Amino acid sequence: MPPAPDAVAETDMPAKAVISRVWTQYLKQYRSPLLLALICATVVVLATTLVTGWLAIAVNLLFHAKLDDNTRKLPQFFRDHPLIVVPGVIVIATLIRFAAQRGLTVSLNNIGNQMVGRIQSQLFSRLVRADLGRLQTAHSGEYLSSVLYDADLVREAASTGVVQYVQAALTVLGSLVIMFYWDWSMALAVLLIGPLIGAVMDRYLAATRRAAKGAMAETSSLSTAIMESLDGVKIIKISNRETAEEARVGSVIDRRQTHLIKGANARTMAAPATEMLTGLLIAGLLAYAGWRAQSGHMTSGALFSFMIALGTASQALRQLAGLQGTFSQGMTAGRRLFIALDIRPEIVDAPGAVALAPDFKAVTFEHASFAYGAAAVLRDVSFTAHAGETVALVGPSGSGKSTLLNLLPRFFDLSQGQIRFDDLDYRDVPLNSLRSRIALVTQDPFLFDDTIRANIAYGNEGASEAEIEQAARDAAAFDFITALPQGFDTRAGEAGSRLSGGQKQRIAIARAFLKNAPLLLLDEATSALDTQSEIQVQAALERLMKNRTTFVVAHRLSTVRHADQILVLSEGEIVERGTHDSLIRQGGLYARLAETQFESQARSA
C-alpha cells in the first residue's frame, strides 16, 4: 500500500513466494472447483481438437477424394451417409464444447470473485486496525487503489489466467498431435521455425511488462489525485484553481495513458509481426504440401486439417504470450498486496494485560517523550492528574497539545517514559479496556453518513432510545435535532456535511455523554462559534466534565479558569504549570498567551 518505504521490499519478494502464498491463502480451498475448471478446459480442448482432426476425414468424405487409410477404416454407414455424419460429429462436439466452456466460466467466476472479496476484506481489516502513524504516512488514494484494483489483478492472473494458460497450452499440444499425425515432416518444420516467431514476440512482451508496471503506479496516483480534489473541493473553488487541478490530474491521466498506450502498442505490435512470420510460414508449407500431395503422400483433407490445426495452435500461442502480461501484472499486484497484508500493527496488547479499573485514582505521565519518526514532539513530560480533576493544556499552535491527548488512548506509543493509571503502566492494559474508559471529543468532530441517532450511539450500540435522547439533552443538542425534518433519523451527510460546526460538536459531545467514560479527552475547537452556540456548547462541556478526569486542550478562558491544573506547553515541553491565577501572577508565557488569546473572550463575556 504505502509504496515509498516499501519500494525496495516490493522487488525483493521472490515470484515463487508470491505464487505459493496465493495458492495456500486463496486458491487451495477452491481445489475442487479449480479442478473442475481444468477438466472443463481439457474437454473444451479435446472437442476442438476432435473437430480439427475430423475436418480431414470430412473433406475427404464430402468431396469423395481419394480415400486414405484412415477414411477407409471408417464404418460403412459413415461412408454411405457423409451428409449426416460430417455435420453430426461437429454438432455433437460443439455442444459438448459449449457445455464444458460454460462449466469452466461459471466455476472460474465463482472462484475469482470470492477470492477478490476475501482479499478486499483482509485489506480493509488491516487498514482499520493499522497504527495511526502508518496510516498517516500513506495517502488514502493508495489504499483505495490497492483495495479496488490489486485484488482484481491477482484474481485475473491466479484463476482465469492459470486456467486459460493450461487451456491454451493443451490446445497447442492437441494441434501439434494432429499436425504430426497427418504429416510429421511438415509438423517438424513448423516446430523448428516456431521458436523464431516466439523470440520476436518476446521482444514486444518485455515492453508490455514494463508498461504494465508503470500504469499500475499511475493508477494509484490517479486515485490519490481524485480523492484529494474531492476532499479539497471548497479550497479549489475559492482559489479559482479548477483549471490548475484539471491540469494536475490531467497530467497524471496522461502519464498513465502513455504507459497504457505503450503497453497496448507493444501488445498489438506483437500480433502483426507474428502474423507476418506466420504468413511466410504458411506460404512455404503450402508449397511443400502441394509437392507432397502431387506425389500422393497427402490427401486434401489432411492438408486442410493440418492448416486448421496450425491456425489454432498459433492463436493459442498468441494467447499464451498475452497471458504473460496478465501474470506479470498479477505478480506486481500480488507483491503489493502481501506487503500491505504483512504490516502488523505495533501498538498491540501486551501479553498478560489486565483490564483497567474504572475507579483509578490518578493518571501519571512520567518523563514521557514522543517523536513522529525522528522529529521530537514531546520531551520529558511529567505530571499527575488526580481522578476527577481537569487538566488544561495551553500553549502556542504546534506545541504538542493535541499530540499529548493522542498518547492516552495509545494512538501512538511513547518513545520514552511511562504513562500510568495508579501503579499500572498503561501498556499493560488491553487496548479495548483502555479505550473503553476514554471519551474523545476532537477539534473537528467526525460524523458518519448515518442517522443522528446512530452517530450518537456509535460505539454504544446497546443504548436505549431514552439514553440516546438524554445524552442529546445533556449535550444541548436535543432541541435542534428534534427541529430537523426527520429528527433523530436525519442523516448527517458525508462527514457530517449537512450539519453546522456547532451542531456537529454537540453531537460529538452527546456521543461522549452516552459513553460515560471516566476519562475525557477534549480538544476544544479553535474556531469561535457564534455566541449562542458557544454558550450552549460551553454549558454542555461543563456538564460533561463534571466527575470525570478531563484532559482539555483549552482555547477558552472559562475552561482554563475552572481547571485544577494548567500545563503550559512550548515546543513539546512543559514550561509552566499551576492555576490560572498563579500563572498570571508569574507573568510568563501563560500570562502573555492569556492576554492575547483570552482578552477578546473576557471582553465579550
Ligand X SMILES: Nc1ncnc2c1ncn2[C@@H]1O[C@H](COP(=O)(O)OP(=O)(O)OP(=O)(O)O)[C@@H](O)[C@H]1O
Q: With CB under 5 A, what is the number of residues at the site for Mg ion? A: 1
Residue closer to ligand X (CB basis): 160 or 399: 399
Q: Given the complex with ligand X, which of 294 and 397 has the nearer CB atom?
A: 397
CB-CB neighbours of 367 under 10 Å: 12
399 binds, among Mg ion, ligand X, none (CB under 5 to 8 A by kind): ligand X
Query: How many CB atoms sit inside 10 A of residue 371's CB?
Result: 16
Query: According to CB under 6 A, which residues from 196 to 215 bind ligand X?
Result: none
**Least Å distance between CB 134 and ligand X?**
11
Cell of 59: 473433406
Please, which residues bridge with residue 418 across strands?
A: 366
- Calpha distance 576→588 (Å, rounded): 8
Pick one of ligand X, Mg ion, none as the site partner of residue 70 (Cβ within 5 to 8 A by kind). Answer: none
By beta-carbon proximity to ligand X, the closer residue of 134 and 498 is 134
What does the per-residue mask of binding to ligand X show for 126-145, with x meaning CB under 6 A?
Answer: ----------x---------
Nearer to Mg ion (CB atom), residue 44 or residue 567:
567
Region 397-416 residues binding Mg ion, contact defined as CB under 5 A:
402
Q: In the complex, what is the shortest distance from the CB of residue 11 to ligand X, in angstroms, rounded to a whole number?
A: 27
Query: Shortest Cβ distance from residue 575 to Mg ion (Å)?
Result: 17
Residues 6+ apart with CB under 8 A from 394: 401, 553, 554, 560, 566, 567, 568, 569, 590, 593
- With CB under 5 to 8 Å by kind, the binding choice for 403 among ligand X, Mg ion, none is ligand X
* Minimum CB distance to ligand X, residue 402 (Å): 3
Contact 161, 323 (CB under 8 A): yes
- 402 or 451: CB nearest Mg ion: 402
Q: In what order do the strands lie in the sheet with 362-372?
A: 375-386, 362-372, 416-421, 424-425
Q: Could you tell which of ligand X, Mg ion, none binds residue 398, using a CB distance below 5 to 8 A set by kind?
A: ligand X
β-pair type (565-570, 573-578): antiparallel
CB of residue 382 vs ligand X: minimum separation in angstroms? 18
Minimum CB distance to ligand X, residue 253 (Å): 30
Q: Which does 374 bind (CB under 5 to 8 A by kind): ligand X, Mg ion, none?
A: none
Report the greatest alpha carbon distance in the chain: 120
Site string for ligand X, 426-445 (x = CB under 6 A): --------------------
CB of residue 168 vs Mg ion: minimum separation in angstroms? 60
C-alpha cell at 41: 478446459
Nearer to ligand X, 270 or 441 (CB): 441
Task: Report, in Å, the least distance between residue 503 CB and Mg ion.
Answer: 21
Q: For the purposes of burial, counting CB atoms within 10 Å of the CB of 198, is it exposed (0-12), middle (13-18) or buried (19 or more)?
A: middle
184 binds, among Mg ion, ligand X, none (CB under 5 to 8 A by kind): none
Helices (H) and strands (E) in the chain, counts: 25, 10
Site string for ligand X, 367-406 (x = CB under 6 A): -----x--x-x-----------------x-xxxxxxx---
| 3-state class (DSSP) for residue 576 | strand
Whichever of 308 and 419 has its CB closer to ligand X, that residue is 419
Segment 363-402, which members bind Mg ion (CB under 5 A)? 402
- Where is 385: in which H helix or E strand? strand 375-386
- Size of site (CB under 6 A) for ligand X: 12
Distance, in Å, from the CA atom of 176 to the CA atom of 317, rounded to the nearest integer, reads 12
Nearer to ligand X, 61 or 394 (CB): 394
Q: How far is the CB of 135 from ligand X (least distance, A)?
A: 9
**Shortest distance in whole angstroms from residue 5 CB to ligand X:** 14
Q: Which residues in the 2-61 window bind ligand X by CB under 6 A?
A: none
Euclidean distance between CA atoms 605 and 601, whole angstroms: 6
Measured in whole angstroms, the distance separating CA 376 from the mean position of its chain's CA atoms is: 31
Q: Which does 136 bind (CB under 5 to 8 A by kind): Mg ion, ligand X, none?
A: ligand X
Q: How far is the CB of 443 from Mg ion (least distance, A)?
A: 6
Q: How many residues does the chain have?
A: 605
> For residues 474 and 532, is the Cβ–Cβ distance under 8 A?
no
* Shorter beta-carbon distance to ligand X: residue 101 or 402: 402
Helices marked H in 13-150 — which ranges? 15-22, 31-62, 69-72, 76-80, 82-129, 132-137, 140-145
CB of 236 closer than 8 Å to CB of 256: no
Cβ count within 10 A of residue 542: 13
Q: Which is nearer to ligand X, 138 or 211 (CB)?
A: 138
Give 393's contacts (C-beta < 8 A, 6+ positions apart). 401, 404, 405, 551, 552, 553, 554, 567, 569
Rounded to 5 degrees, φ, ψ at 564 are -75, -30
| Residue with Cβ nearer Mg ion (114 or 402) | 402
Least distance from ligand X to the Cβ atom of residue 555, Å: 8
Per-residue binding letters, 82-121, with ligand X (x by CB under 6 A): ----------------------------------------
CA–CA separation, 592 and 569 (whole Å): 13
Q: Which three cell numbers stand for residue 257?
A: 495513458
3 state SS of 407: helix
Residues engaged in binding Mg ion (CB under 5 A): 402
Residues engaged in binding ligand X (CB under 6 A): 136, 372, 375, 377, 395, 397-403
